[in-house]
Amino acid sequence: MQEQAILRMSVVKVEQGMLKGAVCNADAETYYAYKGIPYAKPPIGELRFKAPEPPEPWDGIRDALEHGPVCPQYNERLEKIDTGSEDCLFLNVYTKMLQPEKKLPVMVWIHGGAFYTGSGNSDYYGPEFFMQHDVVLVTFNYRLEVFGFLCLDNEEVPGNAGLKDQVAALRWVKKNISSFGGDPENITIFGCSAGASSTSYHMISDMSQGLFNKAICQSGVCLNDWSYNIYARQRAVQLGKLLGKDTEDINELLKFLRGVPSESLINVKLPTVVTECPDISDVMTFSPVIENPNLKVEKFLSDAPINLVKKGKIAKIPLMLGYTSGEGIEICRSFINSLSFFSKTGILLPRELKLNTSLDIIKQMDEKVREQYFGNKPISLKILQNLVYLHTDSVFSYNIRRFARYHFINSLKPVYFYKFKTETERNHTKKRYKMDQVAGVCHADDLPYLFNIKCLNIPLTEDSKFAIEQVVKLWVNFASCGNPTANFSYIEWKPFTEEGKYCFVIDKTLKCDLNVDEDNMRLWDELYGEKLIKIVK
């Protein structure tokens, strides 16, 4: 399953002009690759921090043989600064057929990386596994960290430029994907972590309506605390002060920030936000925000995600979503150096539970959580596994399942819920974190089963090839017809409903269970006041 030689060139026509791509071969499968396609005007100069503008046309035939530059960032996976370029709004299209008898289902991948790192490039998101199937795969870059998520609460920089980049990419796909053999009426958006949160944001944003037909959220939704920032204005002022401009005048700050070199806006380290009860999510310094609803600009998001979801303001489409069995490893990887941090009252509670809540109630909830997961044992290395289970639920899985419940009730569309437990030599992240002593699949360790990762030394054996084929088939089936086990003769993935909370366990052997992790979910339902969910008509 490795990419092999480029066989020849192929030209297609899109709205902006002609594109020359490559015809590639992998494992005896031929596919077409078009890389580095601009989907928006370069967001440079006066356009820095602003919403993207439509792409410009070109004359002649443009080469689409190499990826465009990535957004300036700290590349977390390779542990190095990647200066990239602010001119980074490019996408990549991979397709099995340019002129199929029937248009192919389209899968648009939104990369993760905590909104501050990552790209759509094939060094990590290699398309070869998907190109074993009749689909079109699209990946893309969007602006990150300060470039994509600075918010000044004014009409120049209302916030969420990175999410608006994603909308621009989806608009481009909707208009142009038929040139690559794709069906503009069968588009599935999917992502992991921040990419999954982004995917769910598109489901509740007016800007994204009508741009896709199905969604897959892997290890994240917009209800997770880490997926939105409630201190955006404070963070912007902190940034100015860090870089030498101590002002709360927004116009003055904007003029200053537009003039600083891009390297100064990479991997920014800001002081901790001082609150009575600190939050794990506070480490996300620049991320999605609730935009000021009074601003006279097109807004991506102008109400809290939970309010929109509860009101049923959500795309009425089939949804597949889930989590890995050891998501909490991502939080607990520095546990040994953070014993005192994890011991603080309230630190184990999600931020949403603590907002506008008295300290007495916070303490009571904190005690219930510690009793449930630790039996009130003190925080120590002896309960590391328990802490991983806790953060799997509190930081990830509970709100993912909560989103599933609201989506089913308010859309009445199929919801396919899963827990990912597959472990082979491809579970790279857990090994990199040196967390093999705890059980569970680490956050993002499902990605090597979907993509051909070339920039890291990740083995590929017969054992993992089977797992890859199984996982990719589930994803492609859902994108194709909305049913992940449509052509599986031996197993049925039953949809999740309020009456039957089915969860599909993705391991080397597949199974469909009811009420997975229900004891812990029941506790969080109690704390969030979510025992009963009313249908919004």
- Sequence-distant (6+) residues with CB within 8 A of 519 are 372
Distance CA 408, CA 458 (A): 37
From residue 429, alpha-carbon distances to 333, 334, 467 in Å are: 11, 14, 17
193 a catalytic residue: yes
From residue 511, alpha-carbon distances to 319, 506, 520 in Å are: 19, 7, 21
| DSSP string covering 203-270 | HH-GGGTTS-SEEEEES--TTSGGGS-S-HHHHHHHHHHHTT-----HHHHHHHHHHS-GGGGSS---
Say which amino acid occupies 245: K
Please pick, among 119, 122, 193, 281, the residue that the annotation labels catalytic: 193
Distance CA 110, CA 91 (A): 11
CA 223 to chain centre: 12
Q: For tokens 């071969």, what's the residue?
A: 25
Please pick, among 352, 443, 464, 480, the residue that the annotation labels catalytic: 443
SS3 state of residue 357: coil
Please pick, among 327, 330, 352, 423, the residue that the annotation labels catalytic: 327
CA 359 to chain centre: 33
CA 426 to chain centre: 20
- Sequence-distant (6+) residues with CB within 8 A of 262 are 72, 83, 86, 147
Q: In this structure, are residues 447 and 432 in contact, taking their beta carbons and an 8 Å threshold?
A: no
CA angle 528, 532, 537 (to 5 degrees): 115
* Token pair belonging to 501: 């909370």
Active site residues: 193, 327, 443
